[in-house]
Chains A and B, each alone.
Chain A
Amino acid sequence: MAVTNTKTSQPANPNDRVYGAGHKLVGKNYTTPDLIAKVTGTSKYAEDFRAEGMLFCRLVLSPTPHGRIRSIDASDALAMPGVKAVLTADDIPAQADYLNDNGQTIKASKWGERALTNEPVYQGDPILAVAAVDELTAAEAIERIKIDWEELPFVIDPLESLRPGGPNPREDGNVWTRPKDHPGPPELTKLKWTEKDFEDYRQGKLPMGEAPDTWSYGDLDAGFKNAALVLDESFITPDVSHQCLETRTAMAYWQNGKLYLHTGTQSTAQTVPAIARWMNMSPDNVVLISEYTGGGFGSKVTGTVIMIVPAILSKKLNAPVMMRISREEEHFIGRARPSVEGRVKIGFDKDGKITAMDMFTVCNAGAYDAASDGNTAPRIASLLFQPPAMRWRGVTVMTNTPTRSAQSAPGGMQAIGIIEPILSKAARKLGVDQVALRRVNCPEGKAQYGPPNKEGKRAHTTSCFLKDALDRGAEQFRWAERVKQPKRMGSKARGVGVSLSTYVGGTIGFDGLMVVTPEGKVRFHSGIGNLGTESVIDVHRAAAEVLDVPWDVCEVVWGDTSRVFPYTCASGGSQTTHAMTRAAHSVATECVQKLKEVAAKSLGGSSDDYEVAHQRVFRKGGGAGLSFAQAAQKAIELGGIYDGHEAPPDVHKQTKQAVGMLAGRGLVVSAKDKYPRDGDTYSYVASFAEVEVDVETGKYYLTDFLAYADVGTVLHPRSLGGQVLGRSTLGIAHAIGQKWVLDPEYGVTVAKRFYQNKPPTILDVPIDMQWAALDIPDPETPVGSRGVGEPPVGGGCAAVLNALSDALGDEIFQRAPVYADTILASYEAGRPMQHPLMANI
């Protein structure tokens, strides 16, 4: 569907912009109810809780990348005063299989990560925990524990594992393969390439041996044959730890058979079933308290399995147990984005329009479970660059390196990081303007993407206005003016870069839950995690608007599952804003209907005779009515479906349970999001960067940056701006220096602290970094808002890489991040001086 956009550019200063035309709450700034506690430091994170008689536990992490514990002698430790228990892998319950929402049983993976292990598969894998009266006692006890090891073969580089005779990370294999004969998750198999496959390695090209995963569409050969330019490039994106400022600390205690667990998580409601699965217990007996979370970025979608360690110790010792996680521990167990080594051959016509794309990926999945980044990358590439013909082949390799998980735009960040620099090179070779080249390849409207399904049909998006974002961004960034400026001044080289960016932006089908109380208040039960994005609160602004109530009569409860929550999406995949504005809109719409029914039952007539406004339900055109407080009281008298003694038949069982627990508290309303949607929801960003490089030192500065977002209706401008710039910065980190450093001889990490692995600081990005948003509603969702968390990430990285190659030329780097040393050594030599495929240096 083509949507014509007639809006003009928004002012550069976000405070001067007007969003939410025609809305009362949507698109307006406001103070979220968690804000004052956050900025004054009174918000309580997991580590801030204390309980009577609380013990502390500390972990022991594996010093070796792969080993098997023969025996643990903890007798000296246990003999120390104050030492309460030593927990080992033998004390950890087997993970339960579980039923997904489609009723399918998902078997616990035999390669899945457990809280503690007797066969650590990476340096830093937790092997035991010690509980004591304080941390010092626990530490001294740990130093008295003797562990007898059998060292096992290890591999940290996926390509080394694929070499003929290369080591396997585990005895049963090295490569994740989707079973061909039966459906199910990937399985670990053995795959080695040939010496011939590796011939390309010596030329700095990614070898392309047998790949278990592949798909294609269109006529690839014709696409390359008709191309005016064909480029075949290899590029590596980095392993990057999430480095949440709040480490995954957890505190647990038991009361009356119920587990109370305090921890940080991205998703409140959806973390309960995860804990239940890891503990092999009923979710009915789990209470999670997570009012504030200090960052997740995909590493805490439903928390992580380590959080059950204090829960098990607490049960064993019948005392509360606090497990604090240190920064070094967080480096190992805090998850990371997998690096993807990519080789992409792209054909372009003379205007830069892509004619064909042949993509090969090697994904370093780390030590546990298959990472899907390598599989997602080509789907994002096919959407963002719209190649008419495309093939993808991919290998996902297990290595003895820390556990990976989704990190903001998993696979998308890597696809954009790998392909965008090739587009920049093509534009230079073809003499086409960089923005113009993006424009001819840019997706639009209901853009098709990914491989065809069994019926030969390709998926498509709900909407895409990225071309508008690109045009307006170019205008706001003064692109045309900047490209004309001189590139060299003394030892300084200037460069500008642009990148397209996208990632998924929403799901559907979740529930809303609210109560109109006998006091006349409107209370929303938010099962969304409070991970800093403010969606936990923001989505309910849409509901308040449907009810036509002022925001100050609304209350949002969140963060403690004893306050009961509806079936809520996990906050991952940037789905929350989209999914939960729909659920909020549904429940508010249902609430209006229920208010009318209550009025009709109380005052006569039919519900259609009534309308809702100004915190009242009253006869259309004036006459008898009820205040919200009165309607709530009437709902309690009516009982049944009105006060929560019954739940609607189509809501999720989690919602039904929550409704039951609110029974009798007022007008209790729940509803499932049943709005139609044609297409899959994605959001988009056009990113622009300027760099200044000192070619005599290699040092460069990011001097300007703009991210122009197409994220549907702007829901909350201030939090949107925070997300667009924050996630752009996450992407920028991949370009400018956040890193892993691994010693391949010992298979271990040497850069474990912030000053060594170097996440960017506030001074590494421009002070006046800019963002803007189109504010064009997505036509396939009632509020029009799409998610924003992940879409800016790839563009943040690639815009900087493209600006660097604009300043320095195409022969300096083939790998991110780009450091001063890479630039200096290569600029002197006029060619890449580091082997492009040697990572983690």
Chain B
Amino acid sequence: MAIIRDVMPAFDLLQPSSAADAQKLLQEHGSDAWIMAGGLDSFDWLKDRIKKPKVLVDLSGIDELKGIRVTGDGVEIGAMTTLTEVAEHPEIRKNYSVLSQAVSVVASPQIRNQGTLGGNVSQDVRCWYYRGGWPCYRAGGNICYADTPVGRNREHAIFGADRCVAVHPSDSVPALIALDAKFVVQTSKGEKTVDAENYYIGPDLDITRINMLQPGDLLTAIRIPSTWAGATFYFEKVRDRNVWDFPLMNVASAIVLSGGAISRIRLAVNAVSPRPMRLKNVEDAVVGKPADASTGEMAGKLAVQGAVPLQFNAYKIPLMRNLVKRAVCGVAGQQAYGALTGDLDTQEVAWNS
């Protein structure tokens, strides 16, 4: 069969106006259905003719999935809320700024205007072999093309590889993990609420799925508890280009200090493993220690223990060590390094406005 890309296949377009209808349609069509939020991930797959669903369930007309509600215990963000809205929301900027920081550096202004938080957390991996339609493990085949002696794997995993070495590409997820966010999923057995980090499935459990969603399931909201409101946050994304780029790596932390020492911390990195990584061992190791450079150094070294580099991504080890260091010594790190990131945000806003 000859191959052609960039022509969207024919499918039935279903546009429900309520979450209940959407769920009904998804359950009715099961694995024949494709869920589309903002379309940034979906259209690539569809236009490349690699995925050819029979029906496409477009969530863009469901108003109840949109918007940010301040609740008695934090905020609830509808899955179809755009990244721009999340980035600009005053409550999030005030009390959960690690999330606004993270989503404001996703891709580009245009993509953030169209892309949704639900889509960003649920997107598929971006390994160029897999996305190029190569019949790899994740695509149901029996080889990983990236993990060969000459495979091009500069952007791939140093942790959690199991046949697949792709990384999870989301910028928002580490911030959500740091905030201890809960993902609300409608399933055929009713509503499930899961911790952000548990929404994801590594290749060891199911290599063809990136998250817990089964055919018929729908992510409807993300709840951020007030537990970490106003904590000391750190977020940093390292990317090749200053806009419109997935992370080479990102890091997010939420820290509560008590008398100069870390009393509570949540810490996550992404683009290092097929699953977003919460660094629980590092969290445990730094609690009670001062949020200073030496704790940061220790945290960084601990974070990269067990990392397994591929041919072209050994740089990710010092990168992760340094990012974790900064995320742990947080305040100092932000003062020393925040200026440039700040400039960049201003630049991007300037161009966007």
Whether the Cβ atoms of B337 and A145 lie closer than 8 Å is no
Chain A residues with CB below 8 A from B192, complex form: none
- Cα distance, A63 to B336, chains bound together (Å): 49
Whole-angstrom distance between the Cβ of B239 and the nearest chain A Cβ:
8
The one of A139, A744, A828 in contact with B150, judged by C-beta atoms closer than 8 angstroms, is: A744
Asked whether any CB of chain B lies closer than 8 Å to the CB of A692, the reply is yes
- Cα distance, A326 to B44, chains bound together (Å): 13
Asked whether any CB of chain A lies closer than 8 Å to the CB of B12, the reply is no
Asked whether any CB of chain B lies closer than 8 Å to the CB of A764, the reply is yes
Closest to B316 in A: A821
Asked whether any CB of chain B lies closer than 8 Å to the CB of A1, the reply is no
Whole-angstrom distance between the Cβ of A716 and the nearest chain B Cβ:
26
- Cα distance, A701 to B344, chains bound together (Å): 10
Q: Which of A37-45, A218-226, A748-756 contacts B (4 or more CB under 8 A)?
A: A748-756
Q: A60-B2, A139-B49, A491-B336 given as contacts; is B344 within 8 A of A763 (CB)?
A: yes
Whether the Cβ atoms of B315 and A698 lie closer than 8 Å is yes
- Cα distance, A572 to B148, chains bound together (Å): 42
Q: A752-B132, A758-B241 given as contacts; is B315 within 8 A of A58 (CB)?
A: no
Chain A residues with CB below 8 A from B314, complex form: 825, 833
Whether the Cβ atoms of A841 and B312 lie closer than 8 Å is yes
Whether the Cβ atoms of B315 and A825 lie closer than 8 Å is yes
Whole-angstrom distance between the Cβ of B65 and the nearest chain A Cβ:
27
Asked whether any CB of chain A lies closer than 8 Å to the CB of B4, the reply is yes
Max chain B C-beta neighbours (<10 A), residue from A138, A696, A834: A696
Indicate with 1 or 0, residue by residue over B306-350, a CB within 8 angstroms of chain A CB atoms. Answer: 000000111110110011011000000000110010001001101
The one of B7, B151, B244 in contact with A745, judged by C-beta atoms closer than 8 angstroms, is: B151
Indicate with 1 or 0, residue by residue over B206-247, a CB within 8 angstroms of chain A CB atoms. Answer: 000000000000000000000000000000101111111110
Chain A residues with CB below 8 A from B312, complex form: 821, 834, 841
Chain A residues with CB below 8 A from B315, complex form: 698, 820-822, 824-825, 833
Whether the Cβ atoms of A750 and B128 lie closer than 8 Å is yes
The one of A60, A61, A741, A755 in contact with B246, judged by C-beta atoms closer than 8 angstroms, is: A755
Q: A142-B2, A745-B151, A763-B348 given as contacts; is B318 within 8 A of A828 (CB)?
A: yes
Whether the Cβ atoms of B3 and A761 lie closer than 8 Å is no
Asked whether any CB of chain B lies closer than 8 Å to the CB of A737, the reply is yes
Chain A interface mostly: mixed
Q: A741-B152, A833-B314 given as contacts; is B319 within 8 A of A697 (CB)?
A: yes
Whole-angstrom distance between the Cβ of B316 and the nearest chain A Cβ:
8
Chain A residues with CB below 8 A from B1, complex form: 143-146
Asked whether any CB of chain A lies closer than 8 Å to the CB of B154, the reply is yes
Whether the Cβ atoms of B347 and A763 lie closer than 8 Å is yes
Q: A743-B145, A761-B241, A824-B318 given as contacts; is B6 within 8 A of A327 (CB)?
A: yes
Total B residues in contact with A, Cβ cutoff 8 Å: 51
Indicate with 1 or 0, residue by residue over B8-38, a CB within 8 angstroms of chain A CB atoms. Answer: 1110000000000000000000000000000
Asked whether any CB of chain A lies closer than 8 Å to the CB of B248, the reply is yes
Whether the Cβ atoms of A139 and B322 lie closer than 8 Å is no
Chain B residues with CB below 8 A from A490, complex form: 336-337
Total A residues in contact with B, Cβ cutoff 8 Å: 60
Whole-angstrom distance between the Cβ of B167 and the nearest chain A Cβ:
14
Closest to A822 in B: B315
Whether the Cβ atoms of A58 and B241 lie closer than 8 Å is no
Indicate with 1 or 0, residue by residue over A56-92, a CB within 8 angstroms of chain B CB atoms. Answer: 0011110100000000000000000000000000000
Asked whether any CB of chain B lies closer than 8 Å to the CB of A35, the reply is no
Whole-angstrom distance between the Cβ of B315 and the nearest chain A Cβ:
4
Chain B residues with CB below 8 A from A63, complex form: 3
Q: A697-B319, A824-B319, A825-B318 given as contacts; is B351 within 8 A of A762 (CB)?
A: yes
Chain B residues with CB below 8 A from A491, complex form: 336-337
- Cα distance, A293 to B350, chains bound together (Å): 29
Indicate with 1 or 0, residue by residue over A130-145, a CB within 8 angstroms of chain B CB atoms. Answer: 0000011011001111
- Cα distance, A147 to B4, chains bound together (Å): 13
The one of B2, B152, B344 in contact with A743, judged by C-beta atoms closer than 8 angstroms, is: B152
Closest to B348 in A: A763
Whole-angstrom distance between the Cβ of A685 and the nearest chain B Cβ:
24
Asked whether any CB of chain A lies closer than 8 Å to the CB of B129, the reply is yes
Closest to B314 in A: A825
Whether the Cβ atoms of A743 and B151 lie closer than 8 Å is yes
Closest to A147 in B: B2
The one of A128, A743, A760 in contact with B241, judged by C-beta atoms closer than 8 angstroms, is: A760
Asked whether any CB of chain B lies closer than 8 Å to the CB of A694, the reply is yes
The one of A135, A767, A828 in contact with B347, judged by C-beta atoms closer than 8 angstroms, is: A767
Closest to A146 in B: B1
- Cα distance, A760 to B312, chains bound together (Å): 22
Whole-angstrom distance between the Cβ of A488 and the nearest chain B Cβ:
12
Chain A residues with CB below 8 A from B318, complex form: 696, 824-825, 828
Whole-angstrom distance between the Cβ of B351 and the nearest chain A Cβ:
7
Closest to A745 in B: B150
Indicate with 1 or 0, residue by residue over A801-826, a CB within 8 angstroms of chain B CB atoms. Answer: 00000000000000000011110110
Whether the Cβ atoms of A821 and B7 lie closer than 8 Å is no
Whether the Cβ atoms of B238 and A701 lie closer than 8 Å is no
- Cα distance, A694 to B1, chains bound together (Å): 48
Whether the Cβ atoms of A136 and B6 lie closer than 8 Å is no
- Cα distance, A326 to B8, chains bound together (Å): 12
Max chain A C-beta neighbours (<10 A), residue from B3, B337, B347, B350: B3
Asked whether any CB of chain B lies closer than 8 Å to the CB of A511, the reply is no
Whether the Cβ atoms of A758 and B240 lie closer than 8 Å is yes
Q: A744-B150, A745-B150, A821-B248 given as contacts; is B240 within 8 A of A737 (CB)?
A: yes
- Cα distance, A146 to B1, chains bound together (Å): 5
Q: A756-B128, A763-B344 given as contacts; is B241 within 8 A of A139 (CB)?
A: no
Asked whether any CB of chain B lies closer than 8 Å to the CB of A650, the reply is no
Chain A residues with CB below 8 A from B241, complex form: 737, 758, 760-761, 763-764
Q: A745-B150, A841-B312 given as contacts; is B238 within 8 A of A699 (CB)?
A: yes
Asked whether any CB of chain A lies closer than 8 Å to the CB of B5, the reply is yes
Chain B residues with CB below 8 A from A822, complex form: 315
- Cα distance, A764 to B240, chains bound together (Å): 9
Whole-angstrom distance between the Cβ of A493 and the nearest chain B Cβ:
12
Chain B residues with CB below 8 A from A145, complex form: 1-2
Whether the Cβ atoms of A761 and B2 lie closer than 8 Å is no
Closest to A128 in B: B2
Chain A residues with CB below 8 A from B337, complex form: 490-492, 694
Asked whether any CB of chain B lies closer than 8 Å to the CB of A678, the reply is no
Indicate with 1 or 0, residue by residue over A648-675, a CB within 8 angstroms of chain B CB atoms. Answer: 0000000000000000000000000000
Whether the Cβ atoms of B347 and A758 lie closer than 8 Å is no
- Cα distance, A620 to B65, chains bound together (Å): 82
Chain A residues with CB below 8 A from B152, complex form: 741-743, 750, 841
Asked whether any CB of chain B lies closer than 8 Å to the CB of A291, the reply is no
Chain B residues with CB below 8 A from A750, complex form: 128-129, 132, 152
Whether the Cβ atoms of A139 and B336 lie closer than 8 Å is no
Closest to A766 in B: B347
Whole-angstrom distance between the Cβ of A128 and the nearest chain B Cβ:
8
- Cα distance, A821 to B323, chains bound together (Å): 14
B238-287 CB contacts (< 8 Å) to partner A = 238-246, 248
A-B contact pairs, 24 of them (CB 8 A): A136-B7, A138-B7, A139-B4, A143-B1, A145-B2, A146-B2, A147-B2, A327-B6, A328-B6, A329-B6, A692-B340, A694-B340, A744-B150, A745-B151, A750-B129, A752-B128, A758-B240, A761-B242, A762-B351, A763-B242, A763-B347, A767-B347, A767-B351, A821-B315
Among all A-B residue pairs, the 4 with the closest Cβ atoms: A326-B6, A139-B7, A821-B315, A696-B322
Q: Which residues of A contact B (CB under 8 A)?
A: 58-61, 63, 128, 135-136, 138-139, 142-147, 326-329, 490-492, 692, 694, 696-699, 701, 737, 741-746, 750-752, 754-756, 758, 760-764, 767, 819-822, 824-825, 828, 833-834, 841
A328-B6, A762-B351 are known contacts; what are 14 more A-B pairs with Cβ within 8 Å? A128-B2, A138-B7, A139-B49, A142-B3, A143-B1, A144-B1, A697-B238, A754-B244, A755-B244, A760-B241, A763-B241, A820-B238, A821-B313, A841-B154
